[in-house]
């Protein structure tokens, strides 16, 4: 429900001609190659799976601190989970209804001694081949475990909050951060298969959740302005799967459930969603029986910060050498972060 997606909506006819001349993704791959050559990201040989250098992680961590200051007055409950969730909770979430192609499940060898011997023989055969020609036969004895990879940072919290009983009168606000998995290998470095989402999640009445989302559209935009990046917030939809997906996406747009903050990152002809602002209505509340204090079904919403995407946008717009970034941006990230965020928030409410 809070998938951060690229938008192709901005692709006009004029740019389509340019895109036809150079294959789509070529420009994005160019930016990826620059990042790899500079050692900012580290190649693993797999599209969408990268190592992070010290300088990249430093930016991610400082952004994370800025986001903490940005939400501190909401007194969120901080919860951190490993990047996996219970398979039964994942099944209940209905993620597979909407995004079966993006999900990652975790399998493990569950055979006996003779099965192990078969596995090793199959593995020997596979390893005799080149990487691309290897047989998958050794995986025939892999069985699903009780865990799946986390698809979005907020998913693990709903069943946990539900088990506590009805929400307090003010509802709850939760702060989460997790690596997430999406099976969508791409040459675009802003479309990774494993990446971090920092989220604030609101659970409460429809009014509380709508007010939360509006506040975060403003605060998210303020942060992006402080980072000296262009701000463009637009209505959006998630990439729902299949023929029925188009109808669900249209309905999501018609109800204005999702907004994204879009920044040009790798692909000059398109923009990448770096933040998303989502209203799930009673979807998760109904699934996990989350109740408000008055017994009504809780509504939920979340703001998601794509940590790698915002970091990549900074490298794209301010250059690959962080020492040469604009003074104001450097001061925000490596200087008086707290004071600068407080000042921006004060300006917001003035
Ligand atoms: Zn979320």
User: Are 203 and 290 contacting, i.e. CB atoms less than 8 angstroms apart?
Assistant: yes
Choose among 166, 156, 200, 197: nearest CA to 179.
197
Q: Which domain holds residue 322?
A: 3-103+151-349
Give the residue ranges of DSSP H helices in the chain.
Answer: 13-21, 26-37, 54-71, 87-92, 95-98, 113-127, 157-162, 206-226, 242-254, 283-288, 307-318, 327-334, 337-349
Q: What is the CA(304)–ligand 1 centre distance, in A?
A: 6
Q: What is the CA(270)–ligand 1 centre distance, in A?
A: 24
Please tell me whether residues 123 and 269 are part of one structural domain.
Answer: no
Q: What is the CA(154)–ligand 1 centre distance, in A?
A: 4
Please tell me whether residues 276 and 129 are part of one structural domain.
Answer: no
Q: How many structural domains comprise the chain?
A: 2
> Of all helices (H) and strands (E), which one includes residue 147?
strand 142-149
Please tell me whether residues 227 and 316 are part of one structural domain.
Answer: yes
Please tell me whether residues 93 and 122 are part of one structural domain.
Answer: no
For the ranges 19-28, 318-327, 335-344, the lowest mean pLDDT is seen at 19-28
> Of all helices (H) and strands (E), which one includes residue 187?
none
Please tell me whether residues 73 and 161 are part of one structural domain.
Answer: yes
Whole-number pLDDT of residue 7: 43
**How far does Cα 27 stand from its chain's mean position?**
22
Q: Distance between CA atoms of 137 and 121, rounded to whole angstroms?
A: 10
Q: What is the CA(258)–ligand 1 centre distance, in A?
A: 11
Q: What is the CA(279)–ligand 1 centre distance, in A?
A: 9
Please tell me whether residues 301 and 192 are part of one structural domain.
Answer: yes
Whole-number pLDDT of residue 24: 53
Please tell me whether residues 97 and 10 are part of one structural domain.
Answer: yes
Each residue's pLDDT tens digit, 281-337:
999 999 999 999 999 999 999 999 999 999 999 999 999 999 999 999 999 999 999
Mean pLDDT of the chain: 92
Q: Distance between CA atoms of 350 and 348, rounded to whole angstroms?
A: 6
Please tell me whether residues 63 and 130 are part of one structural domain.
Answer: no
CATH number of the domain to which 341 belongs: 3.30.930.10
Looking at per-residue confidence, does 171 or 267 come out higher? 171
Please tell me whether residues 171 and 192 are part of one structural domain.
Answer: yes
Whole-number pLDDT of residue 293: 97
Please tell me whether residues 312 and 254 are part of one structural domain.
Answer: yes
Q: What is the CA(152)–ligand 1 centre distance, in A?
A: 6
Q: What is the CA(39)–ligand 1 centre distance, in A?
A: 31
Please tell me whether residues 37 and 126 are part of one structural domain.
Answer: no
Boundary residue ending a domain (94, 124, 145): 145
pLDDT at 46 over 70: yes
Whole-number pLDDT of residue 21: 43
pLDDT at 216 over 90: yes
Q: Distance between CA atoms of 88 and 93, rounded to whole angstroms?
A: 9
Coil, strand or helix at 11: coil
Q: What is the CA(25)–ligand 1 centre distance, in A?
A: 28
Q: What is the CA(1)–ligand 1 centre distance, in A?
A: 7
């Amino acid at each position: 429900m809070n998938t951060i997606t690229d938008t192709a909506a901005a692709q006009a006819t004029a740019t389509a001609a340019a895109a036809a001349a150079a294959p789509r993704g070529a420009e994005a791959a160019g930016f990826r190659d620059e990042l790899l050559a500079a050692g900012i990201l580290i190649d693993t040989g797999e599209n969408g799976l990268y190592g992070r250098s010290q300088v990249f992680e430093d930016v991610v961590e400082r952004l994370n601190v800025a986001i903490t200051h940005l939400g501190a007055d909401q007194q969120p409950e901080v919860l951190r989970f490993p990047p996996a969730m219970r398979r039964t909770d994942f099944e209940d979430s209905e993620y597979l209804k909407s995004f079966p192609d993006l999900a990652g499940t975790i399998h493990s060898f569950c055979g006996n001694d003779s099965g192990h011997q078969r596995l090793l023989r199959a593995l020997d055969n596979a390893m005799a081949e080149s990487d691309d020609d290897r047989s998958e036969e050794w995986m025939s004895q892999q069985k699903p475990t009780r865990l799946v990879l986390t698809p979005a940072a907020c998913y693990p919290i709903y069943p946990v909050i539900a088990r506590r009983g009805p929400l307090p009168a003010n509802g709850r606000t939760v702060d989460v951060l997790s690596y997430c998995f999406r099976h969508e290998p791409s040459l675009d470095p802003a479309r990774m298969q494993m990446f971090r989402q920092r989220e604030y999640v609101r659970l409460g009445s429809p009014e509380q959740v709508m007010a939360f989302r509006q506040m975060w559209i403003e605060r998210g935009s303020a942060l992006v302005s402080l980072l000296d990046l262009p701000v463009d917030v637009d209505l959006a939809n998630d990439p729902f799967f299949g023929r029925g997906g188009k109808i669900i996406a249209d309905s999501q747009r018609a109800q204005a459930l999702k907004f994204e903050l879009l920044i040009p990152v790798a692909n000059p002809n398109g923009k990448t969603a770096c933040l998303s602002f989502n209203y799930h209505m009673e979807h998760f509340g109904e699934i996990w029986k989350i109740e408000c204090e008055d017994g009504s079904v809780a509504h939920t919403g979340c703001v998601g910060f794509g940590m790698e995407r915002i970091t990549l946008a900074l490298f794209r717009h301010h250059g690959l050498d962080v020492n040469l970034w604009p003074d104001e941006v450097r001061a925000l990230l490596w200087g008086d972060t707290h004071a600068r965020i407080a000042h921006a928030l004060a300006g917001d409410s003035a």
